[in-house]
Amino acid sequence: MSDSANASTRLTLDLWHPNCWAIESTAQVGGGVLAHAIYNSPQVEAESVNGLFTAYGDTDEEVETLLETIEASEHGGQVLELQERFGQGHRDAPGNVVREFFLEYNPQDMVCPTLLKYGFVHSAPVRIEDGRETWQVVFAGDRGEIESQLDGVREEAGAEVTVEAITAADTRRPERERRMSALTATQREVFELARDEGYYEWPRGCSTRDLASEMGVSKTTLLEHLRKAEAKLLDPKN
């Protein structure tokens, strides 16, 4: 047996599949969702599942709109928001505002069972933004079988799947990558622009006024996003 057959592989998948309330909702409005754990519903066996999720965004209004859109989706159910945070999952949410909730929905709309069927086991909360899902998965089979197994997922689930990253499973996720994943899309965009334009060089290659002009926002707004991004990247508690 080859070494590749004995070593599992870690992948980051960019994924879309039909009939998903989270994909549809985040495609319509801002903010995002982290999918944590899924439980079988005790009320209707095999006809519904209950999941724990975190809605996140830049502002209270953005998250509130996202939750309203989720509840209005024909593929979801009632949003049962938690008054107290459940566990530690909210710490990894990338937004400035986070709200955790339970939601009951049809398991036939889930792609997770199909991924499991083809050997892909998710290893972290699923992140849904802009109508796309980001899955961190481990594949225990031969690395050469990955593409054919993904083809099986695509055909059976009607899914679009792209491999964004692939590493050996024993390769630890770089700390910088973990911290960057905690940024909102806007915070990441502002930080990367500042870095690329030489804001962090000495002497500085640009000013915050220059960055704000390029982003098309006020200097105050630019600084708010940049400082929050810096705090997440530099604070050892994050």
- Please report the pLDDT score of residue 39 as a whole number: 64
Sorted by where each begins, the domain ranges of the chain are 3-13+112-168, 18-109, 175-234
Give the CATH architecture of domain 18-109: 2-Layer Sandwich (3.30)
- Please report the pLDDT score of residue 3 as a whole number: 45
- Please report the pLDDT score of residue 89 as a whole number: 44
What's the rounded Cα separation, in Å, for the pair 102 and 27?
20
Spacing of C-alpha 130 from chain mean position: 10
Whole-structure pTM value = 0.69
What's the rounded Cα separation, in Å, for the pair 114 and 158?
10
- Please report the pLDDT score of residue 172 as a whole number: 56
- Please report the pLDDT score of residue 106 as a whole number: 80
Q: Do domains 3-13+112-168 and 175-234 have the same CATH topology?
A: no
- Please report the pLDDT score of residue 6 as a whole number: 46
Q: Which residues contact 235 (CB under 8 A, 6 or more apart)?
A: none
- Please report the pLDDT score of residue 169 as a whole number: 59
CATH number for the segment(s) 3-13+112-168: 3.30.70
What's the rounded Cα separation, in Å, for the pair 142 and 4?
6
- Please report the pLDDT score of residue 16 as a whole number: 96
- Please report the pLDDT score of residue 41 as a whole number: 47
CATH number for the segment(s) 175-234: 1.10.10
- Please report the pLDDT score of residue 76 as a whole number: 81
pLDDT average per 10 residues of sequence, the chain (238 residues):
58 94 94 82 59 90 94 87 59 76 85 91 90 92 91 96 82 63 81 90 86 91 87 66
